[in-house]
Amino acid sequence: MSSFLKYHENSSVGVDEATIKDNVTYYKIKVKVGSVNWHVMHRYNDFVELHDKLVSDHGVGKELLPPKKVIRNKTPKFVEQRREALNVYLKEVLNYLKLSMPYEFAHFLDFHKYDIFFLLTDLAKTLYLEGDNLLENAKSYKFTPLELHAISERLKMACPPTEKQDQTYDFSHVLDFCSQLRSLDVEGSYEKYGTSNIILNELQFDFIPFKSLVNLRILGVPMRCIQSVGSLRDTLVNLSVLTATVISLNEFLLVDILHKEPSSIADTVKWKKLAMINFGNNNIENVDWAIKLVPRLQHLSLSSNKLKELCDISSLHELRILDLSMNSFSLCEKWHAKIGNVVKIELSQNKVESLRGFSRLYSLESLNLGCNVITDVEEVQHICKLPCLEYLWLTANPVASIIDYRVKVIEQFNSRMSEICLDNERASEKELDTARVLQALRVVKEGKIPTFLDNHTSHSFNKS
Amino acid sequence: MTSGPYNYSYIFKYIIIGDMGVGKSCLLHQFTDKKFMADCPHTIGVEFGTRIIEVAGQKIKLQIWDTAGQERFRAVTRSYYRGAAGALMVYDITRRSTYNHLSSWLTDTRNLTNPSTVIFLIGNKSDLDAQRDVTYEEAKQFADENGLMFVEASAKTGQNVEEAFLETAKKIYQSIQDGRLDLNAAESGVQHKPASPGRPLAAPPSSRDNCAC
Ligand SMILES: Nc1nc2c(ncn2[C@@H]2O[C@H](COP(=O)(O)OP(=O)(O)O)[C@@H](O)[C@H]2O)c(=O)[nH]1
Ligand SMILES: [Mg+2]
């Protein structure tokens, strides 16, 4: 990002070319500040407007700007002459105003889009005028990585005496807003920003100014951009880091910790209030130990990653919802030993073959196994005794295409079969009747008394 | 949260200055969060905090810049003096050196702020009376000689912290009333907040503003 304050000695402007669009001539101005460059298009009239301001307020010589010409001002020869004259003009003006850099001139050159200082003066004004309304509406606010980078860098810079001394433009208003903001959205990009050579995802920033942030959503920003999480560990409740090519959770959870070994981690790096984590659409292969740094976690969503196995996360006592859809789970061995009192598991679009691993997840109420590779209807035996299970999805598994699939699944829940909602649908009376017959057959086969005979007790069965 | 936090008619800008370790950041935290942060991390460059207070029935938002005391950050922190309406100058009553440096802090402040800037001297860590290295009388005399307001305070117990920030605000508010402070001057450190559309701010204190919530 441009920092004119730092690199004004190493900056330049030039009018490179002229283009005619809809019968209007535009001059393409190339701006360079240090290693950053961009361009901006202006008509001759824009130059005149700027020039008037610079003459009246900043002592620029009146005769400096090439004069107006009313007729035959579109001939290639004339346009080329004027381009060169404007080129000389801009270079001279920049040279003359380098140190004071008046607001009007900076704006003319689009500094407010690409330069740390000028971007923030504009942002300060916006937030001074709108900030309180935005905070009151409690909607989430979107900052670009460019703005976040500018804020982080600005905090490390001496703030210079500027020509624009109106307090409305004071940086305090930006920090004031940040310190109160509760919901923040950040969206990255690998494209060049505007007409510049700036790439958002190469800019570093931190969250230090955000003292009250509750919800944070990061989309498509690589973790190497984040230098510090500031006080997020004390305030954040909901965190989403989506499509960010993250390999491991601790890329974010420990982003500002140098030594990421479990032994060297102090209590102060715990995420004290964090209850929801969504790392959807990343490249995570393992849920690593760092998840223990989120002791209050209730909802973990790792949809669309590369997970095959789950590590022991039973220390997360408050975990209730686990979304692992679109991963590569196949066996799910002994999950009761790995996860605590989870209520809902999403495992659709995986490669699960067997339900054996779920047989002792006694708190489970909802299990989504749509689009997996379960073939044998008898697999349901492993979960039919789970006392709270109510919602089950087996749709788009091989098992779902066998004859009488629904009845054969429901039947296995014995006295609770009317409570089960299979693939979004409870059993119809007809299905229940058929299921009872099947069950009777099974019972006879196994030599026990059919449970449907004491149907009334089954209905008063009370989940805890 | 009620709409309370967004109702105010003035913004005052403050800076907190003084040697490293005198408790500037702790004072800020005590004032904004009513908490003592014993293990407050060292300030790098500048820190920032806000709180809304009430002076003479007017809601005023304080925007407070907390600066790093080390010499190497001086260039950064100096630039924040400009446009401060209030300056809290802090020393540590248990460390004489921090008191001895006051004259240099004061010179900076006088040079870099404007004449209407209110300077308030705080002798911090008053809870550590047993380790006192600077007497109250001595500091009081220094304050009087230089026309500063003065209290001893403790960021730990909270004693006099509220007072220091509020008294400064009252003095600034007085200056506005007297016309000594020009609201339109770019570096006054005071901004009158215009009412936003649909939400009159300058209205006479309404019943909601007055309720003790
Ligand atoms: N006993 C006591 N300790 C304090 C008080 N204020 C700050 N401290 C301690 O002094 C040290 C420096 O405080 P800090 O606010 O970081 O100083 P700063 O460098 O001026 O910002 C910290 O260890 C604080 O715990 C106080 O009022 N009483
Ligand atoms: Mg500090």
**What CA–CA distance (Å, rounded) separates A323 from A284?**
13
Nearest CA in chain A to B50: A176
- Is residue B33 a contact partner of residue B41, using CB atoms and an 8 Å limit? no
Mutate to test the interface with B, among A128, A130, A132, A174 (most CBs of B within 10 A): A132
| Residue A458 confidence (pLDDT) | 44
| Residue A455 confidence (pLDDT) | 46
Band of the pLDDT at A443, cuts 50, 70, 90? confident
CATH number of the CATH domain containing B159: 3.40.50.300
Considering only the beta carbons, identify the residue of B63, B76, B196 that sits closest to A172. B63
C-alpha angle B84-B17-B115 in degrees, rounded to nearest 5: 35
Residue contact B187–A156, C-beta within 8 A: no
Q: Is the pLDDT of residue A447 over 90?
A: no
Q: Give me the residue spans of the domains in chain A.
A: 4-108
Ligand 1 centroid, distance to B164 Cα (angstroms):
16
Band of the pLDDT at A258, cuts 50, 70, 90? confident
Band of the pLDDT at A450, cuts 50, 70, 90? low
| Residue B202 confidence (pLDDT) | 40
Quickly list DSSP for B125-158. Answer: -TT-GGG--S-HHHHHHHHHHTT-EEEE--TTT-
Question: By C-alpha distance, which of A209, A124, A137 is closest to B6?
Answer: A137
CA distance, residue A363 to nearest chain B CA (Å): 35
Please state at what angle helix A76-97 crosses helix A44-58, rounded to 10 degrees.
30
Q: Is the pLDDT of residue A463 over 50?
A: no
**What CA–CA distance (Å, rounded) separates B119 from A121?**
27
| Residue B204 confidence (pLDDT) | 40
Query: Does the residue B61 lie in any domain?
Result: yes
Query: Does the residue B1 lie in any domain?
Result: no
Helix (H, G, I), strand (E, B) or coil at B213: coil
| Residue B76 confidence (pLDDT) | 67
Tell me the residues of A at the B interface, defined by beta carbons under 8 Å apart: 129, 132-133, 135-136, 155-161, 165-168, 170, 172-173, 175-176, 179-180, 209, 211
Ligand 2 centroid, distance to B17 Cα (angstroms):
9
B135 dihedral zone (left: phi>0; alpha: psi -120 to 50; beta):
beta
Band of the pLDDT at B78, cuts 50, 70, 90? confident
Q: Is the pLDDT of residue B101 over 60?
A: yes
Q: Which amino acid is at B108?
A: D
Ligand 1 centroid, distance to A311 Cα (angstroms):
43
Q: Checking DSSP bridges between strand A226-228 and strand A205-206, what pairing results, if any?
A: parallel
| Residue B1 confidence (pLDDT) | 39
Percentage of the residues of chain A whose pLDDT score is greater than 90: 74
Query: Does the residue B200 lie in any domain?
Result: no
In this structure, which CATH number among 3.30.2130.10, 3.30.1520.10, 2.170.140.10, 3.20.20.140 belongs to the domain A4-108? 3.30.1520.10
| Residue A163 confidence (pLDDT) | 43
Query: Does the residue B212 lie in any domain?
Result: no
**Other C-beta atoms lying within 10 Å of the C-beta of residue A152:** 20
**Other C-beta atoms lying within 10 Å of the C-beta of residue A443:** 16
- What pLDDT digit, counting tens, does each position of A340-391 carry? 899 999 999 999 999 999 999 999 999 999 999 999 999 999 999 999 999 9
Give exposure, A121-132, as e/b (b: 16+ Cβ within 10 Å): bbbbbebbeebb
Which structural domain, as residue segments, surrounds residue B162? 10-192
Q: State ipTM.
A: 0.79
- Is residue A212 a contact partner of residue A253, using CB atoms and an 8 Å limit? no
Band of the pLDDT at A454, cuts 50, 70, 90? very low
Provide the mean pLDDT of chain A.
Answer: 91
Helix (H, G, I), strand (E, B) or coil at B2: coil
Write down the residue that tokens 């509750």 correspond to: A214
Q: List the single range of A383-387, B111-115, B127-131, B149-153 with lowest mean pLDDT.
A: B111-115
- What pLDDT digit, counting tens, does each position of A312-346 carry? 899 899 999 999 999 999 989 999 999 989 999 99
- What pLDDT digit, counting tens, does each position of A17-27 carry? 999 888 899 99
Band of the pLDDT at A290, cuts 50, 70, 90? confident
Q: Is the pLDDT of residue A205 over 70?
A: yes
Band of the pLDDT at A262, cuts 50, 70, 90? confident
Burial of A40 (0-12, 13-18, 19+ CB in 10 A): buried
Q: Is the pLDDT of residue A12 over 60?
A: yes
Which of B16, B26, B101, B124 gets mutated to test ligand 1 (max ligand atoms within 8 A of its CB)? B26
H helices within A373-447, ranges in order? Answer: 405-411, 429-446
Band of the pLDDT at A275, cuts 50, 70, 90? very high
Tokens at residue A148, please? Answer: 């976040």
Q: Which amino acid is at A69?
A: K
CA distance, residue B123 to nearest chain A CA (Å): 27
User: Which residue CA neighbors atom 25 of ligand 1 most closely?
Assistant: B38
Q: State the total domains in chain B.
A: 1
Asked if residue B67 has its Cβ within 6 Å of ligand 1, the reply is no
Give exposure, A377-410, as e/b (b: 16+ Cβ within 10 Å): bebbebbbebeebbbbbbbebebbeeeebbbbbb
Asked if residue B26 has its Cβ within 6 Å of ligand 1, the reply is yes
Question: By C-alpha distance, which of A311, A310, A347 is closest to A327?
Answer: A347
Band of the pLDDT at B203, cuts 50, 70, 90? very low
R_g of chain A, CA atoms, integer Å: 32
Question: By C-alpha distance, which of A221, A210, A150 is closest to A184?
Answer: A210
Helices H / strands E in chain B, number of each: 7, 7
**What CA–CA distance (Å, rounded) separates B187 from B184?**
9
B35-39, B104-108, B202-206: which has the highest mean pLDDT? B104-108
Query: Does the residue B208 lie in any domain?
Result: no
**Other C-beta atoms lying within 10 Å of the C-beta of residue A66:** 18
Q: Which pTM does this prediction carry?
A: 0.87
| Residue B180 confidence (pLDDT) | 87
**What CA–CA distance (Å, rounded) separates A34 from A3?**
8
**Other C-beta atoms lying within 10 Å of the C-beta of residue A80:** 12
Sign of CA dihedral A280, A284, A285, A290: negative
Asked if residue B38 has its Cβ within 6 Å of ligand 1, the reply is yes
Ligand 2 centroid, distance to A293 Cα (angstroms):
27
Residues pairing with B123 in the sheet: B91, B152
- What pLDDT digit, counting tens, does each position of A211-234 carry? 999 999 999 999 999 999 989 999
Query: Does the residue B201 lie in any domain?
Result: no
Please state the separation of Cα A435 from the chain's center in Å.
47
Asked if residue B69 has its Cβ within 6 Å of ligand 1, the reply is yes
Percentage of the residues of chain A whose pLDDT score is greater than 70: 94
Helices H / strands E in chain A, number of each: 14, 17
Query: Does the residue B137 lie in any domain?
Result: yes
Residues of A in contact with B189 (CB under 8 A): 167
Considering only the beta carbons, identify the residue of A155, A173, A180 that sits closest to B46. A155
Provide the mean pLDDT of chain B.
Answer: 85
